[in-house]
Structure 1
Amino acid sequence: MPISETWLLPDGVADVLPEQAQVIETLRRDALDFLASRGYQLVYTPFIEYIESLSSLSESNQDLDLATFKVIDQISGRLLGVRADITPQVARIDAHVNPVEGVARYCYAGTVLHTKPQGFNTTRAPLQLGAELFGSDSIDADVELIDVMINLLEQAGLAEGIHLDLGHVGLFRSMVKQAGLSKEIEGLLSDLYQRKALPELAEFTQSLKFGADFYTLGRYASDLDALQTHLSAEIFANVAFKQTFAALKTTQNQIQNRWPNLHIGIDVVELRSYHYHTGLMYAVYAPNRAAPLAQGGRYDGIGQHFGRARPATGFSCDLYALSAGQFTDLNVVVAPKGVDTDLLKAISNARTQGFSVIQLLGNDSLSSIPHATHELVNVAGEWKVEKI
C-alpha cells in the first residue's frame, strides 16, 4: 500500500480530535457520576467473547447477530464475537458473575463495533453508555429508567425540546396470539406497521381474524383514547391486552407527572427489535435529529441463556451522537523552560486553576506550540498568565 494511503481509516470509523474528545470525555464522566448517584454500579466488560455468550440476544434479535463481527480464536479455535451491544454482557454478569438476590442496577460505557453502520451517517464503533435494571417486573422500574434517561440528557444540556416516544409490544403480541396468526403473517404485519403503510394494511387485514382490529391498531397507534374507542370489545376482554393497555397509560401518566413540560408521544406499533423486547419500549428524540438520542425498553428473561432468567429493563445511547457538533475551547498555557522555584510554583498554580500548562523543552519556543492560547510571563518579578 502506498504511504499516502496508510493513514486512511475504514468506512464508518473516525478519529476524535482534542476539541471534541474533551466534550465526549466530560459527558462520559458526568453521566457515570450521575448514574452512580442513582445507585447504578459501574461494570467493565471485555471487548470480545465467545460467540455463545453474545448470542443471548442474537437468538431473538437477528439484526444484532448480523451486526456482530466474528473471528476465530487463535488459541482455542473457537468462534469469537466482537461485542455489538453491551447489554448481553451485563446479563451474563447478573446471571453468573455477580448473581445478587433482588434488584441489581448496573451502568457501563465502552466502545462497541458493528459490521455496518446502524443508521444514516452513523459510526460503526459507537461509544455506548447505558444503564440496566434486573430483578423487577414492575412499572416502577420502567418509569425509573425513563426518568434516569431524561435526567441524564438534561444534565448533558440536551433536554430542551426533546420528545419521548412510548410503545409496548404487548398489545400487538396479545392480538397475534388471540387471532392465532402464523409467524409468517405476524412478520408481514409487523413490517406493515413499521412502514406505516395504512393502505396496504387495510387490504392485508381484510382476510384476517380480528382484521378490523389489526387495522385499527395501526390507524390509531398514536392515540390511546381513540384506540380504546375503536377496538372491539372482544379485544379489550383479553386479559393480557387489557393489562398491557393499562400499563402503557400508567407509564405515560407517571412520566408526565414527573416531567410536565415533556412532550410524550405514543406509538403502539413501533416494533423495532420486536422479538427482543418483551414490554414497554421508549426512545427520546431531539429537534432536527433523525436518530434517537437514547432508547431502551423491557427485555425480560434475557438471562435465560445463562441459566437465570430475570425481569430486566434498560436504555443506552451513543456518546458520539450526543456530542455531535459540540466542541470545547482548550486553554493551553505555555511556560518557559527552567527550574526556578517561583516558576514551578506558578505552573502548579495555573494547573490548579484549570489551565493546561506546557513547559517548553530544549530549544523550543512559543511558536512550537501552535495551539497555545496563553503564556506564563514574568511581570516585575511576578509570574502571570496572559492571553496570547
Structure 2
Amino acid sequence: MPISETWLLPDGVADVLPEQAQVIETLRRDALDFLASRGYQLVYTPFIEYIESLSSLSESNQDLDLATFKVIDQLSGRLLGVRADMTPQVARIDAHVHQVQGIARYCYAGTVLHTKPQGFNTTRAPLQLGAELFGSDSIDADVEMIDVMLNLLKTAGFDRGIHLDIGHVGLFRSLVKHAGLSKSTENQLSDLYQRKALPELAEFTQDIKFGTDFYTLGRFSSDLDALQANLSAELLADEAFKQAFDALLTTKSEIQARWPNLDIGIDVVELRSYHYHTGLMYAVYAPNRAAPVAQGGRYDGIGEHFGRARPATGFSCDLYALCAGQFKKIEKVVAPKGTNKDLLTAIENARAQGLSVIQLLGNDDLNSVPYATHQMVNTAGEWKIEKI
C-alpha cells in the first residue's frame, strides 16, 4: 500500500503546526525559566526504559500501569515501558542517580505517551511539564508547590477566573483504618465518593462500622466547618485524621494569604489516584475547561522502589492543553539576494532584533516565500523593512 494511503496518524495523536508550535515553545521556555528562578533544576529523562524502573508508581497506581505502552527490547529481551508519566523517573534520579542530602527540587518538560486518552478530548501524547520537591514532609513544601503551580499558570495566562481545589487522602484513609474495613469495601466507598453518589452512599454506609462518619464525609465534603460539626468525637480525636484535617485548614489559609482573590474549594473525597497520593492533593480548574489545567499532590516514599524513600510533592500539566486554541501569526521578512555588505549587515541586525529574515535564493521572488509579511527594501541607500 503506498504511503499516500497510510499517512493518517493514530487516534489521539496529532501534528502541531507552526502557528501553535511557536506559542507552545514560548510557554515551555518561559515556564522552565520561571521554575529555574524558583530553584527547580531541569532534568531530562529517557523516553523509554525497563518496565521495572517505571513500576515504582504502577505497583500502587493501576491506572498508570494501564496507561503505559510496553514493548520487548530486541537487544536484551527484557520488557520496556514508554513513559506515561515522568514522576517515577525523577524519583529514580533523586533516589539513585543524583542523591542530594536535604531538599531537592527538579523540573522537567517532555512528551509522554498513553495507551488511551486520559480524559475527554485529550491527546495520547501530552507535552508534560512539571516540578517535584523531595526531602520535606512539611506543609510548607506543599504550600510552596501550590504557589509555584499557580504562578506558572499565571505565566501561561491563567490568572483570572481559575479555581483551586484542595483535598487530603488522609481523611478517608484514616477513617477506613479506624473502621477496620476490608479492601473491597474501601474500593466501593472510593467509587461512590468519586461518583458523588450520595443516595447510594447513604444506603451503603448503613451497615458498616462508622457508617455515619463515612456518609458525613461525603455529605459535607466541601465544608470543613459542617464536617467538623457532624463527625463523631471519636473520629475527630483520631490523631491521623486530626493531622490531615489540620493540614487542609493550614494549607487553605496560607494559600489564601498569598492569593487573596483566588477561589479556593475543598473536596475531601476527591480520591483520584487514591492509592498513589499520600497526603494533600490539589488541582486547578479554568473556565470552559472540563479537566484540570494543572494538578498534583503529595506522594511520600515514592523512591522506596529505588532504595531511598523520601517525602515528596509535585505537580504537572500538559502544555498542549494550556495552549489549546492559541495561535501566533509568524511574521517573515524577505530580503533580496546579494552579498552587498550593507545588505548583509541589515539582515544580521534585523535577526538580532528577533525578526525572522529569509534571503531570496537563485531566481526566487516574493511569491516563493509563503506567508511573507514584510520585505527589506533599499530607500535612498538605506535598508528598511516595509510591510507587504
- TM-score of the superposition, structure 2-length normalised? 0.99
Indicate the residue corresponding to 2:98 in structure 1: 98
Q: Which residue of 2 aligns with 1:15?
A: 15
How far has the Cα of 1:6 moved from its partner? 3.0
| 1:174-215 deviation line (CA, Å, top 9, x unaligned) | 000000000000000000000000000000000010101100
Q: Supply the distance in 1 between the matched residues of 2:166 and 2:278 (Cα, whole angstroms).
A: 14
Task: Letter of the 1:213 partner, please give it.
Answer: D
Match of 2:322? 322
Provide the rounded CA distance (Å) in 2 between the counterparts of 1:244 and 1:370. 59
Distance in structure 2 (CA, Å) of the matches to 1:351 and 1:7 = 36
Structure 1 distance, partners of 2:366, 2:158, is 38
- Could you tell me which residue of structure 2 aligns to residue 180 of structure 1? 180
Q: Letter of the 1:55 partner, please give it.
A: S
Aligned residue identity for 1:271: L
Q: Following TM superposition, by how much is the alpha carbon of 1:363 offset from its aligned partner in structure 2, in angstroms? A: 1.2
Q: Give CA-to-partner distance per residue, 1:259-288, whole Å, 9 cap, x none.
A: 000000000000000000000000000001
**Corresponding residue of 1:276:** 276
Q: What is the CA–CA distance in structure 1 between the aligned matches of 2:129 and 2:254, rounded to whole Å?
A: 25
Q: Give 3-state SS (helix, strand or coil) of 2:339's partner.
A: coil
Which residue does 1:335 correspond to in 2? 335
SS at match of 1:64: helix
**Counterpart for residue 225 of structure 2:** 225
In structure 1, what residue type is equivalent to 2:135? G
Which residue pairs with 2:113 in the alignment? 113
CA distance in 2, matches of 1:195, 1:320: 28
Which aligned pairs between 1:24-103 and structure 2 lie closer than 5 A?
A: 24-103=24-103
Cα displacement (A) at 1:256? 0.3
In structure 2, distance between residues paired with 1:180 and 1:68: 33
Identity fraction in percent: 84
SS of match in other structure, 1:326? coil
Distance 1:219 1:76 in 2: 53
Task: Give the equivalent residue in structure 1 for 2:143.
Answer: 143
Aligned-residue RMSD, C-alpha: 0.7
Q: C-alpha separation between the residues in 2 aligned to 1:104 and 1:261?
A: 31
Residue 300 of structure 1 corresponds to: 300
Unaligned runs of 5+ in 2: none
| In structure 1, distance between residues paired with 2:346 and 2:102 | 53
**How do 1:153-302 residues align onto structure 2 when only pairs under 5 Å count?**
153-302=153-302
Question: Which residue identity lines up with residue 9 of structure 1 in the other structure?
Answer: L
How far, CA to CA, are the matches of 2:159 and 2:120 in structure 1?
23
- 1:309-328: per-residue Cα shift (whole Å, max 9, x none)? 00000000000000111111
**Which segments of 5 or more consecutive residues in structure 1 lack a partner in the other structure?**
none
Which letter maps to 2:39? G
- In structure 1, how many angstroms separate the alpha carbons of the residues matched to 2:2 and 2:122? 28
Q: Using the alignment, how far apart are the partners of 1:354 and 1:278 within structure 2?
A: 47
What is the CA–CA distance in structure 2 between the aligned matches of 1:241 and 1:353, rounded to whole Å?
58
CA drift at 1:387? 0.4
